[in-house]
Chain A
Amino acid sequence: MKTLITRGIQAVMVAVLIGAATFAMMRSLPGDAAYRIAAGRYGYDNVNTAAADAVREELGLGGPALPAFLNWLGDLARLDFGTSLVTGNPVIAEIGHQLGASLALAAVAVLLSLLIGPPLGILAGLRPGGVLDRALLIVSTGLKAVPQFLMALILILVLSVQLKLLPAAGHGEARHFILPALALALGLAAVNARIARDAMARVGAMPYYAFAQWKGLSRRQTLMRHGLRNVSVPLLTYLGLQFVTLVEGVVVVEAVFGWPGIGHALVHAIFSRDVPMVQGTALVLGLSFVVINAVIDLVTQRIDPRRAA
């Protein structure tokens, strides 16, 4: 219960922060912003002063800052995100349109990273200092130093341009998933593996881990019954925090591969100063973080009753 309250406060703060940031962004638009927006919406031929004024009024661009800001937050609280300055469609509809593609990409990437990272990390953590542990340390350190866009670039050059195995851009088929998902997954897996390795090494050094074996359990039984469960708690907690990295990766990787998702839309929206879109998208991303972490809190509290206290 306490967890949910804390997460609730976090969600409200996230919304306020995004509201403040986008309000500042709106206010800092250059003087002819209303004109430009109106032009974007109705076409250059149809713009007149009245249309620009209407836009100015609608967005609260004029007038004193404080009431305008409160008004702005009020709209946010009513989940009224307004309409896109570029397309004129409601922001909600635009986001709903793009979210699916992003979620699919993110899910594939996370799944892929979980298949690679934690199993390797746990195997390495069972024998700290062993060959696998040292090899994994080197590989994961190297991978961590490669930002996602660089990973995407390297994958495109090697798999697409040189070997012509996979398409570098496009969307819709399963093979289009491979490069962007891999570009995201390798970085995530590098860090997952380290977290799993550290957690396993720590659990393996705990007195209860030795004691389980002294009771007569085999290594395998000990790992299955006392290892994995104890490793899962820090790993899950970490995965929740890693969501931010995932979102950043999605933003960049979608832009690189022209993937029609929410990240792609966000970059476009910022580039064209489409503030309502930026606000809506940022809010969806920020609140997703809070929701995912709230779920993880509840799950880890179920696994580890000490956390509920």
Chain B
Amino acid sequence: MTLLRAENITVSEGDTPILHPVSLHLDPGEPLVVLGETGSGKSLLAQAIMGTLPKDLSSKGRVVLGERLLDAARPAGFRPLWGREMAVLAQEPWLSLDPLMRARAQVSEAHRLVRGLGAAEARAQAQNDLARLGLGGAEDRYPHELSGGMAQRVAIAAARAGGARIVIADEPTKGLDAARRDEVADLLLAELAQGGGLLVITHDLALARRIGGRIVILRDGKVVEAGVTRSVMAAPAKDYSRELIAADPETWTARRKPPAGAAVLTATGLAAERGGNRLFSEISFDLCEGRILGVTGPSGCGKSTLGDVVLGLVRPVAGRVERAAGLPPTAFQKLYQDPVAAFPRHRTLGRTLADVARRHGQTQDRINALMPRLGLAPVLLNRRPGAVSGGELQRLALLRLLLVRPRFIFADEPTSRLDPITQRQVISLLTETVEREGCGLMLVSHEAALVGATADHVLSLGAEGSHTEMNGPIVAGALR
């Protein structure tokens, strides 16, 4: 028996359609993944099914839920279903919990007000739910005292407390690292095992793979391909699906190690702390021109701090970084996770680049020559950082660094906010640049697969301040 059937859902802004007719259905015990990049309309599809579209967007189509028939054009009709039939998980778990309410109360209020249990019973039930999700002992904590994974579990308990059988999760792993991502996926699948329905909206190929079930791939508001997740992932039928799936770092082939040049830096016995807690210690390595050192590990392990220590932005508690002799201070550069935040926001990009060029005795010609090499259109120079896509801006950030002729680049999660296809483009441009310019690159990412396929040497930091080595002898002098 089908739990939910959505028929010919469309979304438009005024007269402009932004989601073309999409139909889907949810069966008990079988998850459905809607996969797409930014702007594909995947979140709008979820919002139309839940009746939560913003007011300036209109929707058409119908949603059949058991005996009920709902008109997508009238979102008010969906409200009675929330919590009772459909449980909705929002993107960032921390933000979806009331910051001023303890975890248990956020769950028990749904038991009491939605299911109509008595106060004591609701409390006991909430206690139960949290314990079942492994949150025993955390009931009295406020959201800011929970980790991202814990907050997500509280949100799941709260969303489902009203008795809903269908779970709709919109980008449930946004901002989580690989380990947390798998944890959330398993949690959602466990909820599903009790006979409910699960709809997951995501851009994350790894999450899609882990959730399994059936998949719908969206692009520009249209369905590209649909089918069983495992077969689509193994053998995509359409060009776009192929490109998208090939962009998954899991499928990348490892880079051929280029010959090493002269050393640009040597780090010995580095250790750093944050708020009195030791992040890492005894880290030694050196890096040569043309080589890539990958650093990976879970959130909070100090991998970004390590990069800042190498750049001299953070003072280490122990150890030292020696730069190759004769390098100017600007030879060490950084590529940021959020490129928008790394540019002066009130200046056009052209002006910012011209400033850098002038500061380093370069001319506009150099900028003009680099633009096409990085696949950038000249028109972008007239815009401000906020008006350019993430992928383009990250390439412009790379261009800005090249004007300085760096010997070392620290790339701090440079693609974690980009869509998979763009991520692949940016990473390959980055590796090409390193080889062509002959500088050392320290690539920090929480995605082990990406780092594994890109880096010549990998340094893996553990969560508890311990660090382990991956693929052979890496640390301490191995790069010589």
Give the Cβ gap from A67 to chain B, nearest Cβ, in Å: 47
Let me know if A216 and B84 touch, CB within 8 A.
Answer: yes
Set B50, B79, B98, B142: member contacting A226, Cβ < 8 A: B98
Let me know if B98 and A230 touch, CB within 8 A.
Answer: yes
A210 beta carbon closer than 8 Å to chain B? yes
Give the nearest-CB partner of A232 in chain B: B100
Give the nearest-CB partner of B142 in chain A: A305
Q: A217-B83, A217-B113, A217-B114 are in contact. Are A211 and B90 (CB under 8 A)?
A: yes
Let me know if B83 and A216 touch, CB within 8 A.
Answer: yes
Set of chain A residues within 8 Å of B88, measured between Cβ atoms: 211, 214
Set of chain B residues within 8 Å of A303, measured between Cβ atoms: 100
Q: How many residues of A contact B (CB 8 A)?
A: 22
Set of chain A residues within 8 Å of B158, measured between Cβ atoms: 211, 215
Set B52, B83, B109: member contacting A210, Cβ < 8 A: B52
A207 to B96, CA, bound (A): 5
B159 beta carbon closer than 8 Å to chain A? yes
Give the Cβ gap from A108 to chain B, nearest Cβ, in Å: 31
Per-position 1/0 for A199-221, Cβ under 8 A of B = 00000001110111111111001
Per-position 1/0 for B61-100, Cβ under 8 A of A = 0000000000000000001001110111011100111111
Give the Cβ gap from A304 to chain B, nearest Cβ, in Å: 6
Q: How many residues of B contact A (CB 8 A)?
A: 31
Q: A305-B142, A306-B99 are in contact. Are A207 and B92 (CB under 8 A)?
A: yes
Give the Cβ gap from A227 to chain B, nearest Cβ, in Å: 10
CB-CB contacts below 8 Å: A264-309 with B: 303-306
A225 to B107, CA, bound (A): 13
A229 beta carbon closer than 8 Å to chain B? yes
Give the Cβ gap from B66 to chain A, nearest Cβ, in Å: 17
B316 beta carbon closer than 8 Å to chain A? no
Give the Cβ gap from A273 to chain B, nearest Cβ, in Å: 51
Set of chain B residues within 8 Å of A211, measured between Cβ atoms: 88, 90, 96-97, 155, 158-159
Q: A207-B92, A305-B142, A306-B144 are in contact. Are A215 and B162 (CB under 8 A)?
A: yes
Set of chain B residues within 8 Å of A216, measured between Cβ atoms: 82-84, 110, 113-114, 162, 164
Give the Cβ gap from B93 to chain A, nearest Cβ, in Å: 9
A221 to B79, CA, bound (A): 14
B133 beta carbon closer than 8 Å to chain A? no
Q: A207-B92, A210-B52, A221-B113 are in contact. Are A215 and B97 (CB under 8 A)?
A: no
A225 to B114, CA, bound (A): 14
Set of chain B residues within 8 Å of A213, measured between Cβ atoms: 79, 82
Let me know if A212 and B98 touch, CB within 8 A.
Answer: yes
Let me know if B90 and A215 touch, CB within 8 A.
Answer: no
CB-CB contacts below 8 Å: A78-105 with B: none
A206 to B84, CA, bound (A): 22
Set of chain A residues within 8 Å of B109, measured between Cβ atoms: 215, 217, 225
A-B contact count (CB 8 A): 79
B161 beta carbon closer than 8 Å to chain A? yes
Which of A207, A208, A225, A230 has the most C-beta atoms of chain B within 10 angstroms of its own C-beta? Answer: A208
Give the Cβ gap from B260 to chain A, nearest Cβ, in Å: 48
A306 to B98, CA, bound (A): 12
Q: A208-B97, A226-B98, A230-B99 are in contact. Are A215 and B92 (CB under 8 A)?
A: no
Give the nearest-CB partner of B88 in chain A: A214
Set of chain A residues within 8 Å of B101, measured between Cβ atoms: 225-226, 229
Give the Cβ gap from B299 to chain A, nearest Cβ, in Å: 20
Set of chain A residues within 8 Å of B52, measured between Cβ atoms: 210, 214
Q: A208-B96, A225-B109, A304-B100 are in contact. Are A214 and B87 (CB under 8 A)?
A: yes
A305 to B95, CA, bound (A): 16
A216 to B95, CA, bound (A): 18
Q: A210-B52, A210-B90, A306-B142 are in contact. Are A217 and B110 (CB under 8 A)?
A: yes
Per-position 1/0 for B92-124, Cβ under 8 A of A = 100111111100000001100110000000000
Give the Cβ gap from B58 to chain A, nearest Cβ, in Å: 18
Give the nearest-CB partner of A214 in chain B: B88
Per-position 1/0 for A37-66, Cβ under 8 A of B = 000000000000000000000000000000
Set of chain B residues within 8 Å of A221, measured between Cβ atoms: 113
Set of chain A residues within 8 Å of B99, measured between Cβ atoms: 208, 230, 304, 306
A208 to B89, CA, bound (A): 11
A208 to B158, CA, bound (A): 11
A230 to B162, CA, bound (A): 23
Set of chain A residues within 8 Å of B159, measured between Cβ atoms: 211, 214-215
Let me know if B95 and A208 touch, CB within 8 A.
Answer: yes
Give the Cβ gap from A298 to chain B, nearest Cβ, in Å: 16
A216 to B79, CA, bound (A): 8
Which of B88, B90, B98, B142 has the most C-beta atoms of chain A within 10 angstroms of its own C-beta? Answer: B98
Give the Cβ gap from B164 to chain A, nearest Cβ, in Å: 8
CB-CB contacts below 8 Å: A228-243 with B: 229-230, 233
Set of chain A residues within 8 Å of B98, measured between Cβ atoms: 208, 212, 225-226, 229-230
Per-position 1/0 for B172-210, Cβ under 8 A of A = 000000000000000000000000000000000000000
A208 to B142, CA, bound (A): 13
Q: A210-B52, A306-B144 are in contact. Are A215 and B95 (CB under 8 A)?
A: no
A229 to B142, CA, bound (A): 14
A214 to B87, CA, bound (A): 7
Set B83, B100, B113: member contacting A229, Cβ < 8 A: B100
Let me know if A206 and B87 touch, CB within 8 A.
Answer: no
Give the Cβ gap from B343 to chain A, nearest Cβ, in Å: 27
- A interface, CB within 8 angstroms of B: 206-208, 210-218, 221, 225-226, 229-230, 233, 303-306
Q: For the A-B complex with A207-B91, A214-B87 known, give 14 more contacts whose Cβ atoms are closer than 8 Å.
A: A206-B95, A207-B96, A210-B52, A213-B79, A215-B110, A215-B159, A216-B83, A216-B84, A216-B162, A216-B164, A217-B109, A217-B110, A217-B114, A304-B99
A-B complex: 6 closest residue pairs judged by Cβ atoms? A216-B83, A216-B114, A216-B162, A211-B96, A214-B88, A207-B95
- B interface, CB within 8 angstroms of A: 50, 52, 79, 82-84, 86-88, 90-92, 95-101, 109-110, 113-114, 142, 144, 155, 158-159, 161-162, 164
Pull 26 A–B residue pairs with CB atoms less than 8 Å apart, ordered by A.
A207-B92, A207-B95, A207-B96, A208-B99, A210-B90, A211-B88, A212-B98, A213-B79, A214-B52, A214-B83, A214-B88, A214-B90, A215-B159, A216-B113, A216-B114, A217-B109, A217-B113, A218-B113, A221-B113, A225-B98, A233-B100, A303-B100, A304-B99, A305-B100, A306-B99, A306-B144
